[in-house]
Structure 1
């Protein structure tokens, strides 16, 4: 796994796991996201997550393969 964490900025207070993977461009589409999540290839905060609809909030960390993603809030004010 890479030592570098990629920020994933969201505008709202929450994003679903499948959407976050698509936003970060680490999966091709929603079908790919569903597949990797259902097959236990994704973890959230160091726990394997198999629910595509899992709600994520700023500070949550996703790991998928070599990718490490940090959910951040887009403070565009």
Structure 2
């Protein structure tokens, strides 16, 4: 499944992305989610909930591909 998310700020964190993509309900669940699931940022495995994500970054979580784009 492919999804695009528009950013209204220069960047968001991986933890924020998990909430926006409806993968978790609260920020506190991010640590648990990242420990239980492989998350790839631009093709590299990353489990840091504070990882900064910018427009044009691609995040792969299980069968989901999320591309970030600059908002207007």
TM-score range, shorter chain: 0.7 to 0.9
Tell me how far apart the structure 1 counterparts of residues 62 and 25 of structure 2 sit (CA, whole Å): 14
Tell me how far apart the structure 2 counterparts of residues 9 and 24 of structure 1 sit (CA, whole Å): 11
Tell me how far apart the structure 1 counterparts of residues 33 and 39 of structure 2 sit (CA, whole Å): 7
The runs of 5 or more residues in structure 2 that have no matched partner are none
TM-score by length of 1: 0.80
Tell me how far apart the structure 1 counterparts of residues 54 and 25 of structure 2 sit (CA, whole Å): 22
RMSD of aligned alpha carbons:
1.5
TM-score by length of 2: 0.85
The runs of 5 or more residues in structure 1 that have no matched partner are none
Q: What is the total number of aligned residue pairs between the two structures?
A: 72
DSSP-derived class of the 1:30 partner: coil
